[in-house]
């Protein structure tokens, strides 16, 4: 992605182009058939835009230093639209919130309003996509009998009345749902959660918005361009000095764009959480009401891992079986951590043909696979601060080189962490544009469900029988009698 930047238009990292910023009122302009508008571009000091795989729509806020008292003179009521366009020079991907070529955002709140002096005030205007406003106004109250992707498309175009681009992964199976007067995004999320991708192994999909529009995709679709080939990363981020020069002494803007200014390891592993939430194993108890039967289905991370794509591949773009977050070792008596399915139990109805010929989702198979994959991504979660670039969105893949934090050359010729380095999925981005500093920056939250280099494997049982085996049981009353005899009567 960075290699596709037209460097003739980009002079330095963090450069941006911001169009006029216009507030549009619900009022008409002096009785004419057009809305009342006001430009606030010169008043803007900061813009924040948020996108996330866990958020259905874009959102953001704009900080205004105001000496014109716009809240009273427009006035601001929470029913305005805001229009602007933000992009990085040299790339075609942009946040286009203009009415002519894009989709305006809805201003829904003003906050942190305070006076700087008797003539000037500062405040933040919060905005979101118009579909979120629509989501709070109506309910879905109808039956949907179709593939999950077509049902999602129907709700987006009908109830949410959206004209935005939708990138939709095809699903398999015709299912029937009767929506009991629930909000559109809740209905879409329910359909996406239970959807089964047409080409990929692991069920469950994400519905989110980024600069390209709405997206409904599975994790595997984000990780692989087909069912046989992993997607390439769009950038390689590494902590390194700024002002990078090439051999001729010229600044290398592309490398500066991929320089990490700061990073944090938000989480690396949590074995108790993983055990409790069924990442390593789970058991599903399903009940067929019609046939009056029960069935138990076990999920095993070790056997399921190789069937799906993960953030790391085999080196040639294919699936791999040895880079999972669960090391393969002899835990106890020739068992592994994935051999205890009773640790997480799910209960579902498995009654068939409830809606005539429509298929029912296979909860006993789908749910443990979906939840294991989703929660495994939270095992490795990092945050990185980098120069802003509108050509990168949540849902893209990047590579990150984590420093080794050890003496140079010590069993590590590349001087980077062999497990935390590697390919990451961008979960969320905060774009921050400071007009005061004339700089665009990003904070990216990145996740992965695999390690770059495989963990060591161990067949020997090295952990069992390594504690004191003297089991002592003490009865409290007998202990009290002994204490009284030794100490005499209680004073």
Which tens digits make up the pLDDT trace of 233-272?
Answer: 999 999 976 556 666 667 788 889 999 999 999 999 999 9
Q: How far apart are CA 425 and CA 420, in angstroms?
A: 13
What pLDDT shows up at residue 491?
46
Give 80: exposed, middle or buried? Use CB within 10 Å, 0-12, 13-18, 19+. Answer: buried
DSSP 77-126: -S-EEEE-EEE-TT-S-EEE--TTTS-PEEEEEEEEEEEEETTEEEEEEE
- Span 176-218, pLDDT tens digits: 999 999 999 999 999 999 999 999 999 999 999 999 999 999 9
Q: How far apart are CA 486 and CA 475, in angstroms?
A: 17
Question: Do residues 223 and 241 lie in contact, with contact meaning Cβ atoms separated by under 8 Å?
Answer: no
Q: Which residues pair with 429 in a beta bridge?
A: 51, 444
What pLDDT shows up at residue 248?
67
pTM for this predicted structure? 0.93
Which pLDDT band, with edges at 50, 70 and 90, does 475 fall under?
A: very high
Q: What is residue 71's three-state secondary structure? A: helix
Average pLDDT over residues 72-86: 96
Give 358: exposed, middle or buried? Use CB within 10 Å, 0-12, 13-18, 19+. Answer: middle
Q: How far apart are CA 110 and CA 216, in angstroms?
A: 31
- Span 34-72, pLDDT tens digits: 999 999 999 999 999 999 999 999 999 999 999 999 999
Please give the radius of gyration of the chain, using alpha carbons only, rounded to the nearest integer: 28
What pLDDT shows up at residue 433?
98
Q: How far apart are CA 38 and CA 190, in angstroms?
A: 40
Is it the case that residue 394 has pLDDT exceeding 50?
Answer: yes
Question: Which of 282, 275, 56 lies closest to 186, judged by CA?
Answer: 56
Q: How many CB atoms lie within 10 A of CB 149?
A: 21
Structural tokens at position 151: 């049902």
- Span 344-389, pLDDT tens digits: 999 988 877 777 777 778 888 899 999 999 999 988 999 999 999 9
Average pLDDT over residues 421-432: 97
Question: Do residues 16 and 86 lie in contact, with contact meaning Cβ atoms separated by under 8 Å?
Answer: yes
What pLDDT shows up at residue 2?
64
Which pLDDT band, with edges at 50, 70 and 90, does 3 fall under?
A: low
- Least confident range from 62-76, 306-320, 412-426: namely 412-426
What pLDDT shows up at residue 14?
95
Query: Mean pLDDT, the chain, as a whole number?
Result: 92
């Amino acid at each position: 992605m960075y290699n596709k930047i037209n460097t003739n238009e980009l002079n330095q990292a963090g450069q941006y182009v911001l169009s006029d910023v216009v507030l549009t009122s619900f009022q008409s302009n002096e009785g004419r058939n057009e809305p009342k508008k006001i430009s606030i571009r010169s008043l803007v000091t900061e813009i924040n835009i948020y996108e996330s795989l866990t958020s259905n729509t874009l959102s953001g806020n704009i900080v205004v230093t105001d000496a014109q008292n716009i809240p009273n003179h427009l006035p601001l009521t929470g029913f305005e639209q805001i229009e602007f366009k933000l992009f990085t020079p040299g790339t075609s991907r942009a946040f286009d919130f203009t009415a002519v070529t894009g989709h305006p955002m809805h201003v829904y709140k003003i906050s942190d309003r305070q006076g700087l002096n008797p003539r000037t005030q500062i405040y933040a205007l919060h905005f979101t996509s118009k579909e979120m406003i629509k989501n709070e106004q109506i309910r879905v109250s109808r039956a949907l009998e179709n593939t999950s992707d077509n049902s999602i498309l129907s709700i987006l175009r009908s109830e949410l009345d959206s004209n935005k681009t939708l990138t939709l992964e095809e699903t398999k199976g015709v299912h029937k749902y009767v929506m009991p007067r629930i909000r559109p995004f809740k209905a879409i999320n329910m359909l996406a959660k239970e959807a089964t991708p047409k080409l990929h192994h692991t069920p469950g999909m994400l519905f989110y918005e980024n600069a390209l529009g709405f997206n409904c995709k599975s994790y595997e679709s984000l990780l692989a361009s087909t069912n046989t080939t992993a997607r390439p990363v769009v950038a390689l981020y590494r902590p390194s000095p700024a002002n990078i020069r090439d051999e001729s002494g010229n600044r290398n803007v592309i490398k500066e764009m991929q320089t990490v200014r700061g990073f944090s390891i938000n989480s690396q592993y949590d074995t108790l959480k993983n055990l409790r939430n069924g990442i390593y194993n789970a058991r599903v108890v399903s009940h067929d009401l019609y046939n009056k039967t029960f069935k138990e289905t076990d999920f095993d991370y070790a056997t399921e891992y190789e069937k799906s794509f993960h953030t790391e591949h085999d080196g040639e773009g294919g699936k791999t079986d040895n880079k999972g977050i669960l090391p393969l070792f002899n835990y106890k008596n020739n068992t592994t951590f994935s051999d205890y399915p009773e640790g997480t139990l799910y209960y579902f109805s498995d009654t068939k043909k409830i809606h005539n010929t429509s298929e029912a989702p296979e909860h006993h198979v789908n749910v443990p696979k979906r939840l294991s994959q989703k929660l495994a991504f939270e095992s490795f979660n990092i945050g990185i601060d980098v120069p802003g670039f509108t050509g990168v969105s949540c849902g893209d893949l990047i590579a990150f080189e984590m420093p080794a934090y050890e003496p140079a050359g010590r069993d590590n010729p590349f001087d980077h962490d062999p497990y935390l380095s590697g390919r990451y999925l961008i979960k969320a981005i905060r774009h921050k544009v400071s007009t005061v500093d004339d700089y665009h920056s990003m904070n990216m939250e990145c996740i992965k469900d695999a390690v770059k280099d495989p963990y060591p494997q161990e067949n020997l049982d090295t952990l069992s029988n390594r504690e004191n085996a003297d089991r002592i049981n003490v009865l409290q009353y007998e202990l009290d009698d002994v204490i009284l005899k030794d100490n005499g009567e209680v004073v």
